Amino acid sequence: MKVATEFPLRTLLVDDEPLAINRLRRLLGAYGDTFEIVGEAGNGLEGLKAVEALEPDLIFLDIEMPGLNGFEMLAKLPYLPIVVFATAYDDYAVRAFEENSIDYLLKPIEPERLEKTVERIRKSHSAPTGSSPDLRHVLELLKPKKELHSISVKTGDRILLIPLASIAYFEAEDKYVFLHTVDGQQFLTNHTISTLEEKLPDSFTRISRSTLLNSRHIQEIQRHFNGKYAVIMRDKKATQLLTGSSFHDNLKSLMEL
């Protein structure tokens, strides 16, 4: 981890748009006591080489670039400088940056917003560069998840691949988790409910500590006692599943209740 001990911070600009780099360079010129621009790069590959050669304290970094995008470039660095994203990236990424204390500037960069970034950097620069663990976490959040199409279950000497589309719900009983299909079959799995919740696509929603259902097979939702809901599944048994008090928001959000 690199530590920036004094101003001005050695600063690298990485962006594939020359106009964006020129504008940023001009805006940063008002803060000569804070930034010393030591180099520019026009894409992620050039940025990687520039970081290795120049060892900057800080990078103003675009995300969507040819060759390597900003995230891919950062993932290959031997250390992480302070990183400020200067990007027109989507709202999901922006929320992730906010939640993980990573600063960002949305294009076109406005002087007033840049001033807040400068103040933030000035306040935090004296400590060891704190962006590394947070940024690593954001990079993990933004990695595309591997697309899952089926769940493997063992039955006798065979391993079956059960398509996600045919799964109605998963239910935990004691230490075991069972997979229930739309046509009424039941299989023992080697997964926990929490692991399945993490790995399965958003169409699978957890409605209680022991139940994870496929929302595409919900037939009906009924109000139940004590503020709970009964979910009637569109499976062979028309299974009724009850929500847990800690998971009401999952169902309400899904069904816009």
Average pLDDT estimate for 198-220: 92
- From edge to edge, which strands make up the β-sheet containing 9-14? 35-41, 9-14, 58-61, 82-87, 104-106
Asked whether residue 88 is assigned to any structural domain, the reply reads yes
Residues 198 and 100 in one domain: no
pLDDT for residue 255 is more than 70: no
CB–CB of 228/243 below 8 Å? Answer: yes
Q: Give me the pLDDT at residue 128, please.
A: 46
Residues 121 and 46 in one domain: yes
**Which domain, by its residues, includes 185?**
150-255
- Give yes or no: residues 155 and 237 share one domain: yes
* 74 and 157 part of one domain: no
Q: What residue type is 165 in one-letter code?
A: A
* Mean pLDDT score, 73-83: 86
**pLDDT score at 252:** 74
Instruction: Based on the fold, state whether residues 86 and 177 are members of the same structural domain.
Output: no
Reported as a single tens digit per residue, the pLDDT across 92-112 is 465 556 544 467 888 889 999
Q: What's the pLDDT band for 90 if we cut at 50, 70, 90? A: low
Are 51 and 87 in a shared domain?
yes
Residue 140 lies in a domain: no
Residue 137 lies in a domain: no
Same domain, 230 and 154: yes
Domain membership flag for residue 62: yes
Examine the domain organization and report whether 185 and 96 are in the same domain: no
Last-in-domain residue among 125, 142, 171: 125
- Percent of the chain clearing pLDDT 70 (strictly above): 82
Residue appearing with tokens 């994870």:
212
Domain-located, residue 86: yes
106 and 208 in a common domain:
no
pLDDT attached to residue 80 = 81
Average pLDDT of the residues in 7-18 = 94
Residue 76 has what DSSP assignment?
T
- Span 179-187, average pLDDT: 97
Does the pLDDT value for residue 234 go beyond 50?
yes
Instruction: Give domain status of residue 145, yes or no.
Output: no
pLDDT of residue 141: 57
119 and 61, same domain (yes or no):
yes
Confidence of residue 239 (pLDDT cuts 50, 70, 90): very high
The answer to whether residue 228 scores a pLDDT higher than 80 is yes
Least confident of 59-63, 159-163, 250-254: 250-254
231: domain CATH number is: 2.40.50.1020
What end-to-end distance do the CA atoms of the chain give, in Å?
A: 47
Q: Write the CATH number for 39.
A: 3.40.50.2300
Please name every residue paired with 166 in a beta bridge, in sequence order, or none if there are none: none
**Residues 48/1, Cβ–Cβ less than 8 Å:** no
For 111-154, the pLDDT digits (tens) are 999 999 999 888 876 554 444 445 666 666 555 556 688 999 99
Count of domains forming the chain: 2
Q: Which of 109, 125, 141 corresponds to the end of one domain? A: 125
Pair (72, 112) in one structural domain: yes
Residue corresponding to tokens 């504008």: 23
Does residue 70 lie within any of the structural domains?
yes
Mean pLDDT of 226-244: 91
According to the 3-state scheme, what is the secondary structure of 3-26? CCCCCCEEEEEECCCHHHHHHHHH
CA distances 197 to 41, 43, 179, 206, 254, Å, are: 41, 37, 13, 7, 15
Angstrom distance (rounded) from CA 125 to CA 35: 12
Tell me, yes or no, if the pTM score tops 0.75.
Answer: no
Helix (H, G, I), strand (E, B) or coil at 210: coil
Is 2 within a domain? no
Other CB atoms closer than 10 Å to residue 13's CB: what's the count?
26
